[in-house]
Amino acid sequence: MIRFEGVRKTFGATRALDGLDLEVPEGAFAVLLGGSGAGKSTALRTVNRLIDPDAGRVLLRGRDVAQEEAPTLRRRIGYVIQGIGLFPHWTVARNIGAVPRLLGWEDRRIAARVDELLALLRLDPSAYRDRMPAQLSGGQAQRIGVARALAAGPDILLMDEPFGALDAITRQAMQQEMARLHAATGKTILLVTHDVDEAFSLATQLCVMAEGRLLQAGTPRELLDAPADPRVRDLLDGGAIGMRRLALVSAADLAAPSAEAPATLPRIPAGATGREALEAMLAARTEAAVLVGSDGADAGLVALKDLLRA
Ligand SMILES: Nc1ncnc2c1ncn2[C@@H]1O[C@H](COP(=O)(O)OP(=O)(O)OP(=O)(O)O)[C@@H](O)[C@H]1O
């Protein structure tokens, strides 16, 4: 649904994009990952025409974005950036309703949409709709930024280092929120980050860039198992390739039935990843952990040796 075809962009002597070819399927959570200066932000901005390429084209659902007026195009594309840029003198409701207002929606419809989005982002509408941006925490402000980007029901969501300014805990909470939101809305999302862990926790399609080009795109697991370029391997590894792989497998897939699991073993939710199982074993200094279903019953036993063959 988003297709980059030989996209080039030069700023002075800097070649930011050097023939980018990439296809992001409808409904994907695509993450552009790469070092500083790889061209990630530039690529993102060619989609909503904040930047026009020197050569090549960007297609949205088969249509060249250059054929559409930039303001019209941008109303169909949500855009979330680091530090969000909420209007400081506008209430939360007015910030979220900015694009619907531009589109001429009726006040009642805008108000209903604002409340719907606040609830979707798990913020109580009655407590938050009339607040000013200065009265929000960083994580709440970022949620409002996401709500604003979704307000007019865009076809796609572009996110440029959206959680870069948040502390580690809020950042992780926002990542979980985005994964949930993606599953709930089915929107196509294109997110830029240079944080490998963030990329792994969010991407259905991981796209690794360097020097203005795509090095490889695929599921996180595909890139870990078969990196197409030493730079992909170096970027993903960081000495933790085994741990990353474990974070992508379900502990339940490695588990055996637990007839009589000793009470001394740590107990973890049946939906835990292999990495979470390993962390529980390390914390408890045991060589196995018991999976527990939502009904509280034992759902299997996962052993350290099983994790090692994952
Ligand atoms: N408006 C601009 N004017 C001049 N140079 C630019 C401009 N925008 C980007 N560049 C240059 O183009 C290259 C790619 O920049 P881009 O921001 O796309 O990289 P990035 O992968 O997003 O990096 P980062 O992770 O550091 O944000 C960099 O060398 C950058 O300095």
Residue 300 maps to which CATH number? 3.10.580.10
Whether ligand 1 lies within 6 angstroms of the CB of 6 is answered as: no
Whether ligand 1 lies within 6 angstroms of the CB of 46 is answered as: no
* 126 and 192 fall within a common domain: yes
* 57 and 128 fall within a common domain: yes
User: Beta-carbon neighbour count of residue 292 at 10 Å?
Assistant: 18
Per DSSP, the residues of the chain read -EEEEEEEEEETTEEEEEEEEEEE-TT-EEEEE-STTSSHHHHHHHHTTSS--SEEEEEETTEEGGGS-HHHHHHTEEEEETT----TTS-HHHHHTHHHHHTT--HHHHHHHHHHHHHHTT--HHHHTT--GGGS-HHHHHHHHHHHHHTT--SEEEEESTTTTS-HHHHHHHHHHHHHHHHHH--EEEEEES-HHHHHHH-SEEEEEETTEEEEEE-HHHHHHS-SSHHHHHHHHTT-HHHHHHHHSBHHHH-B--SS--TTS-EEETT-BHHHHHHHHHHHT-SEEEEE-TTSSEEEEEEHHHHHT-
* 221 and 263 fall within a common domain: no
d(CA 176, CA 129): 23
The complex scores an ipTM of 0.93
Given a cut of 90, whether residue 286 has pLDDT beyond it is no
* 230 and 257 fall within a common domain: no
- Domain extent, residue 280, equals 250-308
- With bands split at pLDDT 50, 70 and 90, how would you rate the model's confidence at 33? very high
Ligand 1 pocket test, candidate residues 36, 158, 159, 192, most atoms within 8 A of CB? 36
**Which of the listed residues 227, 244, 261 is the one where a domain comes to its end?**
244
Average pLDDT over residues 211-221: 94
Whether ligand 1 lies within 6 angstroms of the CB of 273 is answered as: no
* 141 and 257 fall within a common domain: no
| pLDDT value at residue 303 | 87
**Which of the listed residues 244, 263, 297 is the one where a domain comes to its end?**
244
* 7 and 114 fall within a common domain: yes
pTM score, whole prediction: 0.79
| pLDDT value at residue 255 | 86
* 237 and 256 fall within a common domain: no
Total count of domains within the chain: 2
